[in-house]
Amino acid sequence: MLDKILASRYQLIATLGRGSFGCTYLAKDIHLPGQPECVVKKLNPITKHNQFLDIARRLFKTEAKSLQKLGKYSQIPQLLAYFEQDEEFYLVQEFIRGHNLSKELTIGTVWQEQDVIKLLKECTLILDFIHSQNVIHRDIKPDNLIRRQQDNRLVLVDFGAVKEVIVQENIDSTIAIGTKGYMPSEQAIGKPHFNSDIYALGIIAIQALTGLEPHKFKENDRGEIIWGNRGERINPQLKEIINKMTQYYFKDRYLSAKDVLRDLESLRLTERKKSINLSETRSNGEETIFIDIDRIAAEKTTIENKKVVRELDATQIDADFQKKYRQKNRPKFLASAIVGVILTFSSLILAKISFYQHEKQQRIASLLILIQLNYQQKEYDSCLENVKSKGKKIGLSLEQREEFIGKCTLGAAETKAERKDFSGAIAKAEQISEDNLFAVEAEQKIADWSQKLIDRIKEIYDREGNSSEIERIINTIPEGTAVKTTALKLKNEWQQETDILEQKLLAANREIKLQKWQAAINKAREIENNTTSEYWQLQAREIISHSRQRQAQLKAFKTRQNSSLKQQDNRSRVRRPTPSNQSEQYNRSSIIKTPTQNTPKKVINVCPGHLCNQ
């Protein structure tokens, strides 16, 4: 099978894997300059009965089109082609260079909690996208999650929906699509739901936290996985999320990936609030204890006031007693007077502190109202300026500043997206830090806007070919972003495709000049078969239409010419009988004259009478 060329284009160079559904090969596209690598998946139909193949062929095309839509997402391989050859089905997909997640989930290796949360968030975002396209993956497992070398992100591969094509309509088939250990009970009987994928992801999380393989997990009588004794150190809320993801009965699980994301974000906020509530270390090394994040300022004031009172009382009273013992001859009432003065002075200090604290709280309240008003009126630049320039100075808590920075930055990005400035929107949203409250929402928005940018340049290429407008849009995309990488890759592929198709177009036009109409049609067919771009398809159709029109004209001319020659030939036959006809006429004249040969000839007198008498 290796070195074989499929569809006159894809040369197989290595075997990547084999399974019950078919084989996966590494191949190179020999039609493109540089012969880029790609992945070819061969799907083996379970039977080659004609009726089954007709159904499988229809389903294969439908599912392949679904994969083509999914490939628009940056963390799903792009579908490059799909075709049938010798009653076998093939998919050609983008080659993802990297390693699969199973390399990281070795037996006995236990992940850190924050790494598991990051894994869950990243994969749940992918699931949220594919489920929004009404697709269930059906085979979520470490081998199907590839850590992309380019940006260290996870890419989901090997969708089970296409595998269903080769077992569909087979009444006797008991083949379940999925992998034992990661596959929930409803999927094992052929009835998967969207949260079947969520179950499999939860199993991967348990595997990462325990260092055990799924087949070694124990279950209770209700089918729930028992793993708590190996995860005592894990945050109880994270355990609760994973347990809900892996419930035996699908109705007891999360119903959507969005629900999982919401709880994961809640978990992150809880952890952050806990760290803030415990302590805040100042630059001078002093540590102030907090009780409640919503009462930070009030509690801090109380503690500091008590601290001032203790320091003043201790210092002044100690000095008073020392002076008293040194000057025993002074009246005892002097000590009481000094204490009274100190207490009065302390009260004045406390009153002043209270006044300044009250004024500070008023300034904070006024600033919060102003910032909230900026946000509601979509004055996001003013919102950010007030938070950054005045927030820390006036005394907004770190959590409050981070919240409004995230809200206003995302709002500014959304405003740009509403104006179709998706590049600007992405650049703005990229400013939100990973630990910000709105980081997950920003990631989702960036993925959505990135997809719209890619769709936009694909639409332009489809309509106009590799135009300068595509170059302009790509130049506006922020450097270092995943969408920039994807867009540049597409541009290079389109440039290579354009170079090839332009050569074919020139060849077709040369055939037209030579009036070789069928050869021109064949060249145009090559253009049609090597691109899905409507621009190039239109170029090919125009050549085919023109050539067929000239072919028809030529055929009509030849038909008229043949008809004219035939008519001339017929007229010639009427004027010049054939020798056989002459013989026949001769015979006929002989037959007529034969009876008169024995009859005496009648003498006709032609001379004048007066001469004849002589």
According to the model, what pLDDT value does residue 124 have?
95
pLDDT in the model for residue 42:
87
Segment 143-158 shows an average pLDDT of 91
Average pLDDT of the segment spanning 518-531: 88
Catalytic residue (choose from 128, 139, 158, 197):
139
Sorting pLDDT into bands at 50, 70 and 90, what band is 609? very low
Higher pLDDT, 548 or 171: 548
pLDDT digits (tens, 9 = 90+) for 265-281: 877 555 544 443 433 33
Mean pLDDT over 72-88 rounds to 87
Residue 420 has pLDDT above 80, yes or no: yes
Q: What are phi and psi of 576, to 5 degrees?
A: -125, 95
Phi, psi angles (nearest 5°) of residue 18:
-135, 150
3-class secondary-structure state, position 177 = coil
pLDDT: is 356 or 98 the higher one? Answer: 98
Spatial strand order of the sheet with 145-148 comes to 98-100, 145-148, 154-156
The fold of the 97-278 domain, in CATH, is Transferase(Phosphotransferase); domain 1 (1.10.510)
CATH number, span 1-95:
3.30.200.20
Cα torsion 511, 512, 518, 519 to 10°: value is 10
Task: State the chain's mean pLDDT as an integer.
Answer: 77
The residues near 61 (Cβ < 8 Å, ≥ 6 apart) are 82
- Condensed to tens digits (0 to 9), the pLDDT of residues 28-70 reads 999 888 899 999 988 876 666 676 677 777 777 777 888 888 8
Contact 450, 427 (CB under 8 A): no
173 vs 44, 170, 190, 191, 522, CA distance in Å? 14, 5, 11, 14, 43
In this prediction, residues 215-231 reach a mean pLDDT of 78
pLDDT at 74 exceeding the cut of 60: yes
Instruction: Provide the pLDDT for residue 127.
Output: 94
Rounded to an integer, the average pLDDT of 575-595 is: 49
Q: CB count, 10 Å around CB of 29?
A: 20
pLDDT tier, 337 (very low <50, low <70, confident <90, very high otherwise): low
Q: How many helices (H) and strands (E) does the chain have?
A: 20, 13
Rounded percentage of the chain residues whose pLDDT exceeds 70:
73
Domain boundaries, the chain: 1-95, 97-278, 287-476, 492-560
- pLDDT, residue 282, reads 35
| Statement: the pTM of the whole predicted model exceeds 0.85 | no
Q: How many angstroms separate the CA atoms of 208 and 211, rounded?
A: 6
pLDDT, tens digit (0-9, with 9 covering 90-100), for 465-514: 877 888 888 888 888 888 888 889 888 888 888 888 899 899 999 999 99
Output the pLDDT for position 346. Answer: 59
Is 139 one of the catalytic residues? yes
Q: What percent of the chain is modeled with pLDDT above 90?
A: 24
User: CA nearest 238: which of 342, 332, 116, 107?
Assistant: 116
Confidence at residue 173, expressed as pLDDT on a 0 to 100 scale: 41
Check if the beta carbon of residue 246 is closer than 8 Å to that of residue 182: no
Assign 435 a pLDDT band (cuts: 50, 70, 90): confident
Task: Mention every residue, 6+ apart, whose C-beta is less than 8 A from residue 397.
Answer: 276, 293, 296, 297
Residue with tokens 């490939």: 71
pLDDT recorded at residue 531: 83
Write down the pLDDT at residue 160: 63
Look up residue 3 and give its two tokens.
């070195």
Q: What is the pLDDT of residue 372?
A: 81
Distances 314 to 319, 321, 342, 345 between C-alpha atoms, Å: 9, 11, 11, 14
How far apart CA 531 and CA 483 sit, in angstroms, is 23
